[in-house]
Structure 1
């Protein structure tokens, strides 16, 4: 009877692919692209998959990329990373820091004033460049080590994660019809933990989320006669303040529900009252039911404030994107943790509490069955440490929690993974996670030979 030979033979090729993966990371970090505009990044990723022998499909749901490597009968395992960056000015001081500026997305096209559109700085302040480089490395190792596993690896580069729209777009574009549907989907995410370690949650990893746009309508005019009309900036400010108060009143602290106004777009100069103001709001909750209830609370706030200020039209509330909570099922979580303990040792595998962060990865799994029609897809997700030894050691605080609070986190202008340590750890984590889900080889040292072929 054949036995799983373990990841050792596959990981043995890590030194051969590491330099290219670090170079890929540096390249993508220098040249970030906003959600929906990831053409160059997608092309670079697709080229690496083709070089590894994957059958590659591009242009899925925008700039989405998927590579398929069939390696005999066995499970279909989907490995995913993101392509897109953020409209954040990088302030890391790194020699490879981004200086890119790009047109803001179409949703912020300046329709509410010059502040809402134009050109914005762009950077990989969330670590998607690192996720992509590590996935490229894992894909290369799986291709090189095909003699040691069986099944099908589906490697996905997803666009537009930061807008919570890319996963749905890929699935609506027939991802699971055009390519093999998976039995399990895996992803990892950088976090301000020491580089070289990983962290697992107890099931719930990320919250359910909604991206909401609120447009407040006023009566434009001169600042000298503002009292004769309705200033939509004031309406938007009132909504910003009341939203948090109303959500706090509607939910208890243990519900972990939040409403965050991240952007207000309005006006062109101080002496001109605009006719519109737009808020961009993130809603987070541990599950879809509380998320949806929080959105309804927000709708009520907007209606009341619009009426109180005498707006000529009620504020428009548009839910632009929804994401389910990311929950790892117990068997998958246990198998991944076991694989990572074997690869890293107990001292480098930590726990992770449920997070109010959100993303759309869960749609690839069973939470998206309503969309893709494939029930029972299991989900595996873990956090990847990214802080170098010196920043971690010198960060204020005597405990890990205190240091986490002090260090630049994801979406900060100063967020910067240590590529020397994060890249090999991320490649190792994704490769061993994939091997834990894929089938066994026919025997130690068996050759894939005639079973290895394009998707």
Structure 2
């Protein structure tokens, strides 16, 4: 057994977080105000300047050593408290190009931009945990590096921070810890060992035809029909080329062509999103997609091959099994076993794992619920959970503030203390 395995399997002190969490009621109102402010003022990837400024100011007030502009708009705060393990705590803070439809009094004021994935909650919970940890230094020792990451939604933020010397400048962590709010009952925490979130490949496809008047289709090579045929054929990739024991998702999220009803355009554009868990399945799906796109263009008589360009790529997020055992044991000790669950592999994607692969540190990444428990139970009982519970990236996605916020603060604090050395009691 390696030293890492031995340390990860050691029994954590599940009461370590209790003295710190007694302050949570005192800071909860301020955190609620912060969350609503961040939700009201979302910023897109690599444009999170206001958010970064708020984060940096709060970290300085907590006594952390703060560095801004890491990976363009990222913020890093370091809290050193004697000898002990080095723990990286991560939150992302970019929003999405979504028009909010929640009707909340603190709904987004930015036109066409919304925190539809809950990153505002992630920031608030990490700042809350850091407040408790900074005030409770007597109960732990070691070093905390708090990473507030930009541009997760486009899969570039973690890599940008690593490429900007994150580990050279702030040291290599012993573990990477992160969390994500999701459409589970608020007050619960879910963590899956092994491949936990899927790899994602987004592609931009441009198909070339020949424009003409809508009344003379014989003079055209219609890219709209070409694109429509491609969309339908792509539905066979998963159903006919991937084993039933493997997992893959192929989604065409956008099809854009033409400007007027009586004009056959020259081009059509598709935006594809592919999710997989293994390198073999990923390679097979990508090859099938490219083959189908090119074959449909040729079948339509296109005189130019389509362009297939990558947009974003996320690697599989693999949760270290020993790290999950250690952290989940602490969660069960704090929350109770009935509030801790295994969500299984999630087909969503995350670039938090890059911090682990780039540093060589184990990763433990978990979910915490954001749906009102009564609403969740009602939808599950009716068999309408997929329809009635807004998921991440929906214009209706809005975590209930409580107990979501408190659970996220408690989970991050508990996880951090599980890995840090015990201090004076």
Does TM, scored on the shorter chain, surpass 0.5? yes
For the residue of structure 2 that corresponds to 1:50, the secondary structure is helix
Provide, for residues 157-200 of structure 1, a one-character-per-residue CA deviation record: whole Å limited to 9, x for no partner. 11111111211121112211222221211111112111111112
Matching residue of 1:15: 25
Question: In 2, distance between residues paired with 1:146 and 1:246?
Answer: 54
Q: Is the 8 A contact 1:288 1:324 kept in 2?
A: no
Equivalent-residue separation in structure 2 for 1:408 and 1:131 (angstroms) = 18
Alignment partner for residue 433 of structure 1, among 410, 415, 421?
415
Change (3 A) 1:362 1:354: same
User: Would the alpha carbon gap of residues 225 and 60 (structure 1) be closer, same or farther in structure 2, given more than 3 Å must change?
Assistant: farther
1:396 Cα offset (Å): 5.2
Superposition map of 1:402-421 within 5 A: 403=385, 406-421=388-403
Distance 1:48 1:227, change over 3 A: farther
Match of 1:64 among 74, 95, 103: 74
Partner of 2:214: 223
Instruction: Determine if the alignment matches structure 1 residue 240 to structure 2 residue 231.
Output: yes
TM-score (norm 1): 0.86
Residue 395 of structure 1: aligned partner: 379
Q: Distance in 1 between matches of 2:386 and 2:258?
A: 37
Partner of 1:451: none
Is the contact between residue 288 and residue 325 of structure 1 (CA under 8 Å) also seen in structure 2?
no
Q: Which runs of 5+ in 2 are unaligned?
A: 1-11
Q: Which whole-Å CA distance do the structure 1 matches of 2:133 and 2:367 have between them?
A: 21
Aligned partners of 1:175 and 1:97: how far apart in 2?
Answer: 34
- Is residue 379 from structure 1 mapped to residue 363 from structure 2 by the alignment? yes
1:90–1:99 CA contact under 8 A, matched in 2: no
Report if the CA contact (8 A) 1:163-1:211 is conserved: no
Deviations 1:280-322 (A, max 9, x none): 2111111233223211111111110111112232111112222
Please state how far the C-alpha of 1:404 moved relative to its aligned partner. Answer: 5.4
Q: CA deviation at 1:50?
A: 1.6
| Structure 1 unaligned blocks of 5 or more | 102-120, 445-455
Counterparts of 1:320-399 in structure 2 under 5 Å?
Answer: 320-366=311-357, 369=358, 374-375=359-360, 377-395=361-379, 397=381
Residues 250/225 of structure 1: CA separation in 2 closer, same or farther (3 Å cut): same
Q: CA RMSD in A?
A: 1.9
Query: How many angstroms apart in 2 are the aligned matches of 1:286 and 1:296?
Result: 16
Structure 1, residues 255-299: CA drift from partner, whole Å, max 9, x if none?
Answer: 111111112233333333333322221111112332232111111
User: CA–CA distance in 2 between the matches of 1:300 and 1:338?
Assistant: 47
1:433, distance to aligned residue in structure 2 (A) = 0.6
Q: How does 1:171-190 map to 2 (within 5 A)?
A: 171-190=162-181
Report the equivalent of 1:112. Answer: none
Contact 1:83 1:157 in 2 (8 A): yes
Match of 1:85 in 2: 95
Task: Describe the shift of the 1:54–1:221 C-alpha distance in structure 2 as closer, same or farther (beyond 3 A).
Answer: farther
Count of aligned pairs: 413
Once residues 307 and 388 of structure 2 are traced to their aligned partners in structure 1, the CA distance between those partners, rounded to angstroms, is 38
- CA distance in 2 between counterparts of 1:325 and 1:52 reads 34
Q: Take 1:71 and 1:43, find their aligned partners in 2: how far apart are those partners?
A: 25
